[in-house]
A and B are shown apart, each in its own frame.
Chain A
Amino acid sequence: MERMLSLIAGMSILLMGLVLFNIRRAHIRVEYSVSWLGAAFVLLLLSQWEWGLMSFAQLIGLNDPPVVLLLIIGAVFLMVFFRFSVVISDLKDANIALTQKVAVLEYQLNRLHEKPQATDNER
């Protein structure tokens, strides 16, 4: 169990490092990195805080803390993924609205260009 907990701790630290590195490189925006940093922090905390993990395991009636930790990992990442689905949906909506606006603008711009020509021909 000890080994597994250290492994998880190591992975959380790695995850934090990865996220911070990517923020610095501007590959990920600060507001979207918060979910990952938060998730990594929770995992690190739980893997090191044995008493907390034990009591939580007892609370939900499982006396196998590593399994509980895995469960928690699953739940935390599900939450992060769900949040990103919401973000993606927002982005998609915004993107569609923008696309439609651009299409209409382009159409009307072409109209403006074509109108003077039409009058030229009439003359």
Chain B
Amino acid sequence: MIQPRGDNSLMILIPAFNEEGAVGSVIREIRSHHPDLPILVVDDCSADGTRSIAKRAGADVLSVPYHLGLGGCVQVGYRLAYDLGFEFVIRLDGDGQHDPRYITLLLGTLKSSGAQMVIGSRYIDGTGEHTSRARGIGILFFRWFLGLILAKKVHDPTSGYVGVNRQALEVFARSFPLEYPEIEALVVLKRLLFRFEEVPVKMRPRMAGKSTITAMRSFYYVAHVLLGVLVNILKYQGGRKT
């Protein structure tokens, strides 16, 4: 059972939906680098063996009663981490794309920079291998668009390899975008005058299973995220600083 230990307690959060082919080895790989790290898998009503495989691999599993979507699952993971008293949470994908070797780098940057959020970015050193073309175009667009809003360059705004400290944890535990949360979360941070940092990571191809982002959904994705960002800017100009 996960429990924060010490002052700089870190929890690993893995949202997973039908990831039985990968989630077990992701957990074991994290364990091989950090044997004692608390790992929470949020299982979004997977139809496959995700839940039992994650349990057997040694993670704690939080199961939601019906399919909530990525944002809802990340939020409930943040909520639990906050309630349990964790200081930092690093979220990574259950499909094996995020190499657990970078956990140390993300955590170190969270601590040393004091930024509320640290993003593992595939575009700082590399060129973003293992990323579909549609997604690449989307990332280019949002990089430019967010540059205008955040007044700071984000190399990889859609990365799901993200660390947060307790301040951000508190905010995200209370409210978090439901669908495609990464970009909106950045705008929320800006509204609160929080800071983010990016660190270079290398992404790998997904180990097994299917990506949930298809070409068809890309258009919906862009429209949805743009609207979400717009709503958040409107809130900001309304002067609500929560």
* Residues of chain A whose beta carbon lies under 8 Å from any beta carbon of chain B: 96, 99-100, 102-104, 106-107, 111, 114-115
Contact = CB atoms under 8 A, between A and B. Distances in A.
Contacts of B178: 96
Contact of A104 (B1, B62, B66, B72): B62
Given A100-B75, A106-B63, 18 more contacts: A96-B68, A99-B64, A99-B65, A99-B68, A99-B72, A100-B68, A100-B72, A102-B64, A103-B63, A103-B64, A103-B76, A104-B79, A104-B80, A107-B60, A107-B62, A107-B80, A111-B1, A114-B1
Nearest to B43: A103
Interface residues of B, number: 15
Interface of B: 1, 60, 62-66, 68, 72, 75-76, 79-80, 83, 178
A115 B3 CA distance: 13
SS class, residues of chain A in contact with chain B: helix
16 contacts: A96-B72, A96-B178, A99-B64, A99-B72, A100-B68, A100-B76, A103-B62, A103-B65, A104-B76, A104-B79, A104-B80, A107-B60, A107-B62, A107-B63, A114-B1, A115-B1
A104 B65 contact: no
Central interface residue in B72, B76, B79, by most chain A CB within 10 Å: B76
Contacts of A103: 62-65, 76
A111 B1 CA distance: 7
Given A99-B68, A111-B1, A114-B1, A104 B63 contact: no
